Amino acid sequence: EVLQSIREVNENSSVHGLIVQLPLDSIHRIDTEKVTNAVAPEKDVDGLTSINAGKLARGDLGDCFIPCTPNGCMELIRQTGWRHVLYDIDISRSCVPKCIDRLAREIGLLSNEVELYGKTKAKVHLEAIDRLRIQPDGKYVVVTGITPTPLGEGKSTTTIGLVQALGAHLNNNVFACVRQPSQGPTFGIKGGAAGGGYSQVIPMEEFNLHLTGDIHAITAANNLVAAAIDARIFHEATQSDKALFNRLVPLSGGHRTFSPVQINRLKKLGIEKSDPSTLTEEEITRFARLDIDPESITWQRVLDTNDRFLRKITIGQSPTEKGYTRTAQFDITVASEIMAVLALTSSLEDMKHRLAKMVVATSRNGEPVTTEDLGVCGALTVLMRDAIKPNLMQTLEGNPVFVHAGPFANIAHGNSSILADKIALKLVGPEGFVVTEAGFGADIGMEKFFNIKCRYSGLRPHVVVLVATVRALKMHGGGPSVTAGMPLPKEYTEENLELVEKGFCNLRKQVENTKHFGVPVVVAVNAFKTDTEAELQLICKLAKEAGAFDAVQCTHWADGGAGAVELGKAVQKAAEAPSNFRFLYDTELPVVDKIRIIAQKIYGADEIELLPEAQHKVHLYTKQGFGNLPICMAKTHLSLSHDAEKKGAPTGFVLPVRDIRASVGAGFLYPLVGTMPTIPGLPTRPCFYDIDLEPETGEVIGLF
């Protein structure tokens, strides 16, 4: 009887809508789904039929009825402008993520290419690259920003918001590729790095903490090298040549045998022998003694914690070390060369080769000492065998994200892994997009993205997205300093077009820096609630006049992908525009010339000044054959210059280079500009004050 009544209404042209009141009130058992699906979809004003509910779930909002009660609530929110402010972790938990194996299937990965780590994260095997080898690559987009300020610019949030816009709202295949954050800043002052608001990687506590253990693997591998260096110096200092050789090549079954890594050392020394008993005394000495100069050691121990008291330490204090002490230090793990190797490697074989080439010190006769010389390179590859696989996660709106590698951008090259980018570019296909983020400002992370990462990957980007905010430009224009935890001065919360225009010099310089590489740049103005329309429009106008392909306002923190749709459209158009990608310098140029080009063209310096130690290293590394490596400047991220206090776009300065070090395995030289700690310290009130675990639910609280 009910079905007959529904059919009559369906066929009655004078009735435009029908609501089935639930629950069905009857003494008889009635199939609710059968009744609701009997309603003609075009008259189903409650949106309960499978057709309307399916279209709603798929996002076809213009082609279905939306249930009136939640739709009315959303309309009330829009009309009143009311928004309940949630913490990032609350927003993250409000969304139930897809099971990661389902996401892997959706993006085209096979089950044997995915290694599950619970329900929300997985590692992807490198065999996927081989299977997808003939698949054309998608469009390659890098997100960078103006020179950072304590007010924040929102590069990570913009990266995720753009991916959500391109995918969930503009129906493209899309992938985000981001770095894994260090736990130092997570528990220190910065907090997490999963994005924020309604544009973040989820679950954010998994993202910001251990993830799948890659950083711990790097810590273990790095410190194994450090232990090997000091142990080797100790044993060489306390043993004769013969005793040292006999212990390095011990008797087994009545005879001695070289290990493969020792055979490689013999070949490096020009000794073409494989039988230990045939070595002469002179060959035994050359083989057994690395003769490391302790003053030349560049390899430090690492820890993924902010700890200022490890910046300078003395090791070897125990009586068992027989008086062998030296001054050393700790770096933060993400500054380790092994992290840079992970980010720049192209295969397991390539990683093994790079790990073996890492130079840790110089011998007393001026020869570079490598991890292969120490015999530890094979063990490093074993420790890193799982870390090389990219980690798969997702955005709040269900888009795939690779989280892989996490080198800092001020003391390393500051970009996620080449392997993750390459797999993602194959998976999205020729019409899809891969969006990656370069650390800190365009003068730091983007310059290294182009000159180091793209040089080794062979990939060519289609678009640069340059993120700016009104309040950050106000600070570059001379706005007052801010103090964490204190209210913002009125200059940042009230309209001030003059201050915005003064600070625009920094954005103009970063647009200019982008254009050095011949890639179209789209400026994303990340809007905050205190910004005025006049301020936002002024930035967009000035950015276009400065040569940006386009400049658009974004509200992705508050609105998710919907708030970055215009940015997504601008990126799509820019990706079709002509591009004339080029490197900033030829690696065959002398080391000093490469440093000068970066300083003058990217930073705006008049000249560079090499202090005596830097001059010595230029001579040493050129002599050792490392002079043709790209340059990775280690410089403050808080200014275009070497002085963190100089905001805007300073000019007329001389850039001082106090030292140069070699990351031969990673494949770059890194000049040290000014003084810069390689392990951060904790502030007076670190983030860990607010971080805790809820025992009953097992939930992490206090992360942001």
Distance (Å, whole) CA 311 – CA 335: 13
Tell the burial category of 486 from Cβ atoms under 10 Å away from its Cβ (0-12, 13-18, 19+).
exposed
Alpha-helical regions (H) of 429-547: 447-448, 454-457, 470-476, 490-493, 497-515, 533-545
Q: What is the pLDDT of residue 47?
A: 85
3-state secondary structure 427-449: HHCCCCEEEEEECCCHHHHHHHH
Q: What is the pLDDT of residue 23?
A: 80
Q: What is the pLDDT of residue 86?
A: 64
Residue of 98, 131, 190, 661 with catalytic role: 190
Asked whether 120 and 100 are in contact (CB, 8 A), the reply is: yes
Q: What is the pLDDT of residue 74?
A: 76
Residue of 440, 449, 504, 517 with catalytic role: 440
Q: What is the pLDDT of residue 205?
A: 86
Residue of 449, 557, 653, 668 with catalytic role: 557
Q: Is 267 a catalytic residue?
A: no
Distance (Å, whole) CA 42 – CA 39: 8
Residue of 179, 265, 596, 647 with catalytic role: 179
Classify residue 577 by its DSSP letter: S
Query: What is the separation of C-alpha 108 from the centre of its chain, rounded to a whole number of angstroms?
Result: 23
Residue 162 CB: number of other CB atoms within 10 A? 31
Q: Which residue from 676, 671, 672 is spatially nearest to 631, judged by alpha carbons?
A: 671
Distance (Å, whole) CA 431 – CA 136: 9
For residue 378 the two structure tokens come to: 């094979």
For residue 655 the two structure tokens come to: 């850039």
In terms of DSSP bridges, do strands 391-395 and 122-124 run parallel, antiparallel, or are they unpaired? antiparallel
Q: What is the pLDDT of residue 686?
A: 87
List all residues 6 or more positions away from 627 whose beta carbon is below 8 Å from its beta carbon: 590, 591, 618, 621
Residue 274 CB: number of other CB atoms within 10 A? 12
Residue 327 CB: number of other CB atoms within 10 A? 11
- Residues 67-98 have pLDDT tens digits of 888 888 877 877 766 555 566 667 777 778 89
List all residues 6 or more positions away from 607 whose beta carbon is below 8 Å from its beta carbon: 596, 599, 600, 654, 655
Q: Is 409 a catalytic residue?
A: yes
- Residues 307-364 have pLDDT tens digits of 999 999 999 999 999 999 999 999 999 999 999 999 999 999 999 999 999 999 999 9
The backbone torsions φ and ψ at residue 366, rounded to the nearest 5 degrees and listed phi first, read 90, 10
All domains in the chain, ordered by first residue:
2-80 (3.40.50.10860), 137-193+410-576 (3.40.50.300), 215-383 (3.30.1510.10), 591-673 (3.10.410.10)
For residue 644 the two structure tokens come to: 């963190």
DSSP string for residues in 316-341: --SGGGTT--EEE-EEEGGGSHHHHH
For residue 420 the two structure tokens come to: 């993750």
For the chain, give the number of residues.
704
Q: What is the pLDDT of residue 461?
A: 96
Q: Is 575 a catalytic residue?
A: no
H or E segment and range at residue 554: strand 550-554
Tokens 């955005």 found at: 395
Q: Is 436 a catalytic residue?
A: no
Tell the burial category of 396 from Cβ atoms under 10 Å away from its Cβ (0-12, 13-18, 19+).
buried
Burial annotation 435-466 (CB, 10 A radius, 16+ → b, else e):
bbbbbbbbbbbbbbbbbbbbbbbebebbbbbb
Distance (Å, whole) CA 504 – CA 431: 34
Is 86 in a helix, a strand, or coil? coil
Q: Which residue from 482, 478, 480, 512 is spatially nearest to 498, judged by alpha carbons?
A: 478
Task: Give the mean pLDDT per block of 10 residues along the chain (704 residues).
Answer: 87 88 80 87 86 76 80 77 62 82 96 96 97 96 94 90 97 96 82 80 89 96 98 96 96 93 96 95 96 96 95 95 94 95 97 97 95 98 98 96 89 92 98 96 96 97 97 94 80 95 98 97 95 97 98 95 97 95 97 98 97 96 96 94 94 96 95 87 88 88 77
Classify residue 610 by its DSSP letter: E
Residue of 38, 168, 409, 574 with catalytic role: 409
Asked whether 162 and 465 are in contact (CB, 8 A), the reply is: yes
Q: What is the pLDDT of residue 349?
A: 97
Residue of 55, 123, 139, 155 with catalytic role: 155
Q: What is the pLDDT of residue 108?
A: 96
In angstroms, the Cα distances linking 73 to 80, 445, 551, 578 are: 11, 43, 33, 46
Question: What are the DSSP E strand ranges found in 334-406?
Answer: 359-362, 368-370, 391-395, 400-403
Residue 360 CB: number of other CB atoms within 10 A? 26
Is 198 in a helix, a strand, or coil? coil
Q: Is 257 a catalytic residue?
A: no
Question: What are the DSSP E strand ranges found in 82-136?
Answer: 114-116, 122-124
Q: Is 155 a catalytic residue?
A: yes
Asked whether 337 and 661 are in contact (CB, 8 A), the reply is: no
